[in-house]
Structures are given as C-alpha cells and as structure tokens.
C-alpha cells in the first residue's frame, strides 16, 4: 500500500512515512492510493485481534508480519477491560450500541491510540529515523488523554497536547493533569478546540518552528485523526461489530446493518465509510451532530459554512466547526486534487465552500440539549442502560431519520466521563464532588467503579497550565529545551 496527499496524487509515500509525518507537507491529508475489495464473509470467526492483523497487513504493508502480530497483541490485550475489546450491547432486536469505551481512558480514541505508539515505533525503526519524535496534538478532551496514555513512558517520544481552557469536562481535565511519566504533558489554551487545532496545524507548516524543533533533536508528528495511523485502526471495529452481529444471529451475512456515528472531527464516521467501500455490507451511515451542526447542514445542503459561533454543549468532543477529516471524505467521493485544493482555499478565505450534495452517501441530523437529555433518560428508563451525552446525541438524532432495519450506534464514551449531564437528565442532584458522582454512576449502572478510575483517583494532579493562543510555539520550545 502507498499513500499520497489529498492535494497531490503524484507523490507516493510508504505507510511508515505517512504515519510518521502525520500531515502531508502540502497541508493535505494522506489517503491510501487504493481501497482493496475484501471478502469479509471469510473472516466470520475471527476475533478482534485477527481482524486487526489482517487489516494492518494491507494498510501497513511495509511492516513485517511478525511486527504486526506483536504490536496488535500489545495494543489490544489486558489494557482493555473485556476480551471482546468492543462488545455490542443490543437494546432490542433493532438497535445495538457498540461499546467503544472499554480501553484505559474510557473513550473510543483508545482503539486507535493504544496502537498508534507501537505503530510509530515500528515505523521509526523501519525508516531508520534517528531523531526522537515530538507529537503535538489538539484535543477536545478525549484524544488528549488517550494520546498521553498510549505514549506514556515510551522511549524516544514526547507528547504535548493542547485542550480548550474551560472546554473539557472535569473528569477529562483530571485525566490529563494526572500523568505517570514526564514525556507527556497537557496544556490549556485560552480558546476553543478549533483554535487548538488551527494552532497545531499552523506550527506544522511554519518552517522556522520545524527548524527549531529539529535543532532540539526532534521530528514533529501528530496523534490527531489527521494521522492515517489513527484512521485505519478505526475501520477494524466496524468490521468486527458487523461480523459479530452475524454471529449473534441479528443479521445474516450480506444483510445491511446501518451505523450512526456521533461526529466531531469526522474521523470515526470516515472509518465506517472506508469499511463500507472495502465491501463490508453496511447499510446507511448516519452522521449525528450536536448543536454545532455544521456537518449536518453540509450533508443536507452541500454548503459548508463555518461562519457561526461555537456553542459549548454537554458533548464537548463534538464541539468543532472545522472537521479535518472531511477533506478525506470529499476526496473519497471525488478524487480530484484541484477540486479539493479550491474547496480548501474557499474555506480558508471565506470560511465556506459549496459542493453538489448529490455526491454524498451519508445521511445526517442533529440533536439539541433537551433531546440529548431525553435520550439519556429514555434509554435508562426503558433499558436500564446508561449512555453518555455523545452516544445520546446519536441516539436522539437517529430518531429523526428512517434508517429501517438493524442499526448500530457508536457508543463513543463511558458515562463516567460526563457525569453532570447524566444527573441532570435523570433529574438527580449533582453531588458536590466527583468521587461521590462516580459512586452514584456506579450505582446507576449496577456495576463496580472501573479500575482505571480507581487508579486515576490515586494519582496526584499537576496544576493546570494555561496559555494564550499565541504562546504555543514559545511554550513548546521551552518544554523541549
Ligand atoms: C472524539 C469523539 C467524538 C467525535 O469523533 P470524531 O472522530 O472526531 O468525529 C465523539 N464522541 C466522543 C466521546 C469522542 O471522544
């Protein structure tokens, strides 16, 4: 497999190079030069790790089979609290929740970020890269801790994440400020997620900055979903969940299964599109947005317009107006690099662009705060099952569309990460401190507090470090001196 930028098909790079670079030098995103057609029916009795190995052999084809086998076993092992890795909880015969939050940081980001560090290490060996790697990452809350956890203590890697000051949940903040190794660090930026993401992207394309980092002995990379090394691992769980639905007798192979994805940066849903394009018999793929509904508007009208204010919602990981991975989706629908470049130019200069909506093969709707609360309450009352606000946005959004037939909703975070919204939705008092809240959530679920949370509460927290958005470069240089 080779990769090239969404803005230039002529220059092909190896998988290892694409993973180490993160963003292509021309500002585009790396995409696979082809998507293979796979007969997934022959994978029916595979477990999660076997599916992962087969997918990675195709997409990370410059790594040895033994390496892939080794790193898959490291990435998807006892660090997840279930051997199934991603179990599906069927609420009834029509609707299932893919529980993507059984990893160490309790959100779906772990599925890629428990693997990416080992992948980068292998790529580093493969390419003979001598320098250490400095990973800069913007986070709306979940990627930050997942990246810190994945790279924690890993030799030759430094991670600095930027999260929006006052823009993450108190649980997420505690996660990022509690670390076991000094090679990872979180910094609060006065701004929103888009400011964090723009700032990081700008640094990547600032020659002076790249030069300074290089003189300090580092090569830059990214753990955001602009990195193809995050996208590929996310295709694995759609394949796994589809095949599992067949094994469980919910569908027979070939029957369609619709997918609903609570979306922010468009990475998770794009992985579903890739899986379908490779031949997985998924039915409709539905994008769910919160009140920051720029993507839902786009899919319904063809006009992408980021000229609106960002609203803080109870699903902060979706509080995004500029979704990076949309560029990859547009490329998938129309692989014309000049067209992509002109759209991105329009986005930069006017904050908007327009395409013919007939090219889309996704449906979309969005849910407001009231509908999100109602979904949390409804699912709890009817099925005795707690869903987090992001999953609830997806649940509420799918009610506004006709998906018909069995449907899987991507359950992207554990309810422990966003406790306040759960209490208000269930019309319960919000306890004075987080530990009490955790015990109340545990009581609602009828299960013990997850071990990773118990461990988190034993760690000492760093003081929050807050910077202005124009201080990023300076602070990073200070950090790596
Ligand atoms: C990151 C995240 C999302 C959004 O996923 P994208 O890949 O950015 O679209 C949704 N829910 C949760 C809990 C997340 O952490």
pLDDT tens-place string over residues 149-168: 999 999 999 999 999 999 89
pTM of the model: 0.96
Check pLDDT > 90 for residue 169. no
Residues 63, 317: Cα–Cα separation, whole Å: 33
For the beta sheet containing 3-5, the strands, ordered from the edge strand earlier in sequence to the opposite edge, are 8-13, 3-5, 30-32
Ligand 1 atom with the shortest distance to the CA of 234: 7
Residues 196, 468: Cα–Cα separation, whole Å: 11
pLDDT tens-place string over residues 340-381: 999 999 999 999 999 999 999 999 999 999 999 999 999 999
The phi, psi pair for 296, rounded to 5°, reads: -65, -45
Ligand 1 atom with the shortest distance to the CA of 268: 7
Neighbours of 426 (CB within 10 A): 15
Residues 280, 256: Cα–Cα separation, whole Å: 9
pLDDT tens-place string over residues 271-314: 999 999 999 999 999 999 999 999 999 999 999 999 999 999 99
Q: Which of 397, 399, 362, 358 is nearest to 276 (CA)?
A: 362
CA 241 to chain CA centroid, nearest Å: 17
Spell out the domains of the chain, with CATH numbers in brackets.
88-107+229-456 (3.40.50.1100)
Q: Which two tokens stand for residue 14?
A: 């190896």
Check pLDDT > 90 for residue 225. no
Q: How far is the CA of 4 from the centre of ligand 1 (A)?
A: 25
- Predicted pLDDT of residue 481: 87
Q: How far is the CA of 388 from the centre of ligand 1 (A)?
A: 12
Check pLDDT > 90 for residue 218. yes
Neighbours of 423 (CB within 10 A): 17
Q: Hey, which bits of 376-449 come out as E strands?
A: 407-411
Check pLDDT > 90 for residue 477. yes
Q: Whose CA is nearest to atom 14 of ligand 1?
A: 317
- Predicted pLDDT of residue 119: 97
List Cβ neighbours of 226 (8 Å cut-off, separation of 6 or more).
22, 23, 29, 324, 325
| Mean pLDDT, residues 180-205 taken together | 93
Check pLDDT > 90 for residue 476. yes
Check pLDDT > 90 for residue 205. no
Residue 449 burial (CB < 10 Å; 0-12/13-18/19+)? middle
Ligand 1, pocket-test mutation among 98, 107, 319, 366, most atoms within 8 A of CB: 107
- Predicted pLDDT of residue 404: 82
The phi, psi pair for 76, rounded to 5°, reads: -120, 65
Helix (H, G, I), strand (E, B) or coil at 147: helix
Q: Whose CA is nearest to atom 1 of ligand 1?
A: 317
Are 18 and 126 a contacting pair, CB within 8 Å? Answer: no
Are 266 and 329 a contacting pair, CB within 8 Å? Answer: yes
- pLDDT, mean over the chain: 96
| Mean pLDDT, residues 407-435 taken together | 96
Check pLDDT > 90 for residue 201. no
- Predicted pLDDT of residue 70: 98
Q: Which residue has the tokens 């090219």?
A: 359
| Mean pLDDT, residues 165-180 taken together | 93
CA 12, 16, 19, 23 dihedral sign is negative
Rounded to 10°, the helix 472-480/193-204 angle is 60
Ligand 1, pocket-test mutation among 108, 139, 140, 419, most atoms within 8 A of CB: 108
pLDDT tens-place string over residues 88-103: 999 999 999 999 999 9
């Amino acid at each position: 497999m080779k990769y090239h930028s969404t803005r230039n098909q002529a220059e092909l790079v190896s998988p290892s190079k694409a993973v180490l670079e993160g963003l292509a030098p021309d500002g585009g995103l790396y995409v696979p030069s082809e998507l293979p057609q796979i007969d997934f029916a022959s994978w029916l009795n595979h477990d999660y790790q076997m599916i992962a190995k087969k997918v990675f052999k195709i997409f990370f084809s410059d790594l040895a089979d033994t390496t892939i086998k080794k790193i898959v076993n490291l990435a998807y092992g006892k660090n997840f609290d279930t051997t199934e890795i991603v179990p599906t909880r069927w609420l009834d015969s029509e609707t299932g929740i893919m529980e993507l939050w059984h990893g160490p940081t309790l959100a779906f980001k772990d599925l890629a970020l428990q693997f990416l560090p080992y992948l980068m290490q292998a790529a580093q060996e493969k390419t003979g890269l001598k320098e250490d790697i400095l990973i800069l990452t913007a986070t709306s809350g979940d990627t930050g801790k997942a990246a810190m956890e994945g790279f924690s203590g890993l030799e030759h890697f430094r991670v600095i994440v930027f999260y929006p000051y006052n823009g993450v949940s108190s649980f997420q903040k505690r996660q990022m400020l509690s670390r076991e190794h000094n090679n990872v660090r979180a910094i609060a930026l006065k701004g929103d997620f888009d400011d964090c993401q723009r700032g990081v992207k700008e640094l990547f394309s600032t020659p002076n900055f790249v030069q300074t980092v290089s003189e300090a002995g580092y090569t830059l990379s990214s753990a955001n979903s602009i990195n193809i090394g995050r996208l590929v691992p996310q295709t694995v769980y759609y394949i796994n969940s589809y095949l599992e639905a067949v094994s469980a007798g919910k569908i027979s192979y070939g029957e369609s299964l619709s997918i609903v994805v609570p979306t922010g940066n468009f990475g998770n849903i794009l992985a579903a599109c890739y899986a379908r394009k490779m031949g997985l018999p998924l039915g409709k793929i539905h994008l769910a947005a919160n009140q920051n509904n720029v993507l839902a508007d786009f899919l319904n009208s063809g006009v992408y317009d980021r000229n609106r204010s960002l609203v803080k919602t109870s699903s902060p990981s979706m509080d995004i107006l500029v979704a990076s991975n949309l560029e990859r989706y547009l490329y998938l629908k129309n692989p014309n690099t000049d067209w992509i470049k002109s759209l991105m130019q329009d986005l930069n200069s006017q904050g908007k662009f327009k395409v013919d909506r007939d090219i889309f093969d996704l449906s979309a709707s969005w849910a407001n705060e009231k509908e999100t609360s109602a979904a949390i309450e409804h699912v709890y009352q009817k099925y005795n099952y707690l869903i987090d606000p992001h999953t609830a946005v997806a649940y509420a959004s799918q009610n506004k569309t006709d998906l018909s037939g069995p449907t899987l909703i991507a359950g992207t975070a554990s309810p422990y990460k966003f406790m306040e919204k759960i209490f208000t939705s269930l019309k319960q008092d919000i306890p004075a401190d987080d530990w009490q809240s955790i015990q109340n959530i545990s009581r609602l679920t009828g299960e013990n507090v997850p071990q990773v949370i118990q461990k988190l509460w034993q760690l000492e927290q760093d003081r929050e470090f807050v910077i202005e958005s124009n201080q990023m470069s300076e602070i990073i240089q200070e950090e790596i001196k």
